[in-house]
Amino acid sequence: MTPPATSRTVTIIDDHQVISLGVRSALLDTGAAAEAIWLPAVDPARIPTGAVVVLDLRLNDDSSPRDNITALSGAGHPVVVYTSAENPCLVREAIAAGALAIVRKSAPVDELVDAVRAAADGEAVPGPDWASALDADEDFVARHLTSTEAGVLTYYASGATSGVVAREMDLSLATVNTYVTRIRNKYRAAGRPVHSRVDLFRRAVEDGLLPCVCCCS
């Protein structure tokens, strides 16, 4: 049976209990929560009705962050994501699924406390990670890159050498390098500069050319 909620009840879902104990202490000490319980995984039957959920973005049970947030939000639980990950793709998915706040585990505890209080009132708290994730332009490829440039970016950002890209796309090596330079320039002009192959990989993931690779949270 689902336990009843008290005023500002919080459920902390994180597979690292020591982190959860610290979060619980902070929320109780500041009065942000009247009651706080810990769960190592999403288990709706054990979450008090209407409780705010502080959710680790990536759990060791391989559950999907999007599915977890969708299920929790759909059950009436305001969700605050608490994560150490810096993956804009996952953050964007969390926002789309209904998370009200994204708080980094390295942030001051006051940020988490404020986010929980706001979530209890149904208010979203856009933070730096939120803004950064939304900077990704899902229409960038369609609006700014030719089909050939998109193909070059997909191969190159996934780790292929310029020579491999040239062979796979039947282009000369010089042409591939020219395309890579054009792609970098277009991202820079859009206010999303890339300084390395890693940056190109991130942009390709953000813009849907490569699958989102989940990081540990």
pTM: 0.64
Q: 28 near 69, Cβ under 8 Å?
A: no
Rounded Cα gap, residues 81 and 59, in angstroms: 12
CA torsion angle for 101, 102, 104, 109 (degrees, to 10)? 0
Rounded Cα gap, residues 83 and 69, in angstroms: 14
pLDDT value at residue 153: 95
Q: 36 near 24, Cβ under 8 Å?
A: yes
Rounded Cα gap, residues 104 and 115, in angstroms: 11
| Predicted confidence pLDDT, tens digits, the chain (217 residues) | 444 444 689 999 999 999 999 999 999 999 999 999 999 999 988 999 999 999 998 888 888 888 999 999 999 999 999 988 656 667 777 887 889 999 989 889 999 999 999 999 999 887 766 666 665 555 788 889 999 999 999 999 989 999 999 999 999 999 999 999 999 999 888 878 888 888 888 788 778 888 765 444 4
Domains belonging to the chain, first-starting first, are 9-134 (3.40.50.2300), 140-206 (1.10.10.10)
CA torsion angle for 127, 131, 133, 136 (degrees, to 10)? 180
Angle 53-59-60 from CA coordinates, rounded to 5°: 150
Helix (H) or strand (E) holding 52, with range, is: strand 52-56
pLDDT value at residue 95: 80
